[in-house]
A and B are shown apart, each in its own frame.
Chain A
Amino acid sequence: MMRALTYHGKKDVRVDTVPDPEIINPRDCIIKVTSTAICGSDLHLYDGVIPGVKTGDILGHEFMGEVVEIGAKSTLKKGQRVVVPFPISCGSCFFCSRQEFSCCDNSNPVEKQDASELLYGHAMSGIFGYSHLTGGYSGGQAEYVRIPFSDVGPIVVPDHLEDDKVLFLSDILPTGWMAAENAQIEPEDTVAVWGCGPVGLFAVQSAIVMGAARVIAIDEHPRRLELARQLGAEVINFKQTHVLEALMEMTGGIGVDCAIDAVGMEAHGMAPDNLLDMAKQKVGIGADRAHVLREVITAVRKAGRVSVPGVYGGLADKFPTGAFMEKGIQMRTGQTHVQRYMKDLLAKIEDGSLDTTFLISHHLPLEDAPKGYDNFLNNQNEWTKVVLKTDAAKAA
Chain B
Amino acid sequence: MNDRRDGTIAGLAGLGLAVGGAALAAYLSTRDNKRKKHPDDSPGYTMRQGTGAYDVTGRTVTIDKPRQELFAFFRDFQNLPKFMENLESVVPAGAEGRNIWKIKAPLGQTVDVETEIVREEDGELIAWRSVEGSDIDTEGRVKFRDAPGDRGTQVQLIIAYKPPAGELGRLAAKLFQREPSVQARHDLKRFKMLMETGEIATSARRREDTRAAQQENA
Contacts and interface: CB of A to CB of B under 8 A. Distances in A.
Interface in B178-195: 182, 186, 189-190, 192-193
A98 to B, nearest CB: 11
Contacts of B186: 110-111
Contacts of A73: 198
Given A111-B211, A113-B189, A25 B199 contact: yes
Nearest to A21: B205
A27 interface: yes
Contacts of B64: 92-94, 97
Contacts, number: 74
A109 B198 contact: no
Given A22-B207, A111-B211, A113-B189, A106 B202 contact: no
Interface in B186-218: 186, 189-190, 192-193, 196-207, 210-211
B205 A106 contact: no
Contacts of A137: 203
Interface string B150-174: 0110000000000000000000000
Interface in A75-127: 90-94, 97, 105-114, 126
A136 B192 contact: no
B211 A26 contact: no
Contact of A148 (B151, B190, B201, B210): B201
B192 to A, nearest CB: 7
Contacts of A27: 197-199
Contact of A109 (B151, B201, B207): B201
A106 B204 contact: no
Contacts of A58: 205
Contacts of B198: 26-27, 73
B60 interface: no
Given A110-B193, A111-B211, A135 B151 contact: no
Contacts of B197: 27, 90-93, 106, 149
Interface string A3-29: 000000000000000011110111100
A92 B189 CA distance: 15
A313 to B, nearest CB: 19
A289 interface: no
Given A92-B64, A94-B151, A110 B190 contact: yes
A301 interface: no
A103 B34 CA distance: 37
A106 B193 contact: yes
B205 A22 contact: yes
Contacts of A91: 197
Interface in B71-127: none
A19 to B, nearest CB: 6
Interface residues of A, number: 34
B30 interface: no
A24 B202 contact: yes
Contacts of A148: 201
A149 B202 CA distance: 11
Contacts of B206: 19-22, 24
A122 B100 CA distance: 35
A135 B201 contact: yes
A175 interface: no
A25 B192 CA distance: 16
Contact of B203 (A90, A97, A135): A135
Interface string A49-60: 000000000100
Contacts of B204: 24
A25 B207 CA distance: 9
B207 A126 contact: no
Nearest to B182: A114
Contact of B199 (A21, A26, A108, A126): A26
A21 B202 CA distance: 13
Nearest to B186: A110
Contacts of B62: 94
A35 interface: no
Most A Cβ at <10 Å: residue of B64, B192, B210, B211: B64
A50 B152 CA distance: 35
A52 B201 CA distance: 18
A183 B189 CA distance: 34
Interface string A269-289: 000000000000000000000
A149 B152 CA distance: 22
Interface of B: 62, 64, 151-152, 182, 186, 189-190, 192-193, 196-207, 210-211
19 contacts: A22-B206, A22-B207, A26-B198, A27-B197, A90-B193, A90-B201, A91-B197, A92-B64, A93-B197, A94-B62, A94-B64, A94-B151, A106-B196, A106-B201, A107-B201, A110-B186, A110-B189, A110-B200, A148-B201
Given A24-B207, A146-B205, 6 more contacts: A24-B210, A58-B205, A92-B197, A105-B196, A106-B197, A149-B197
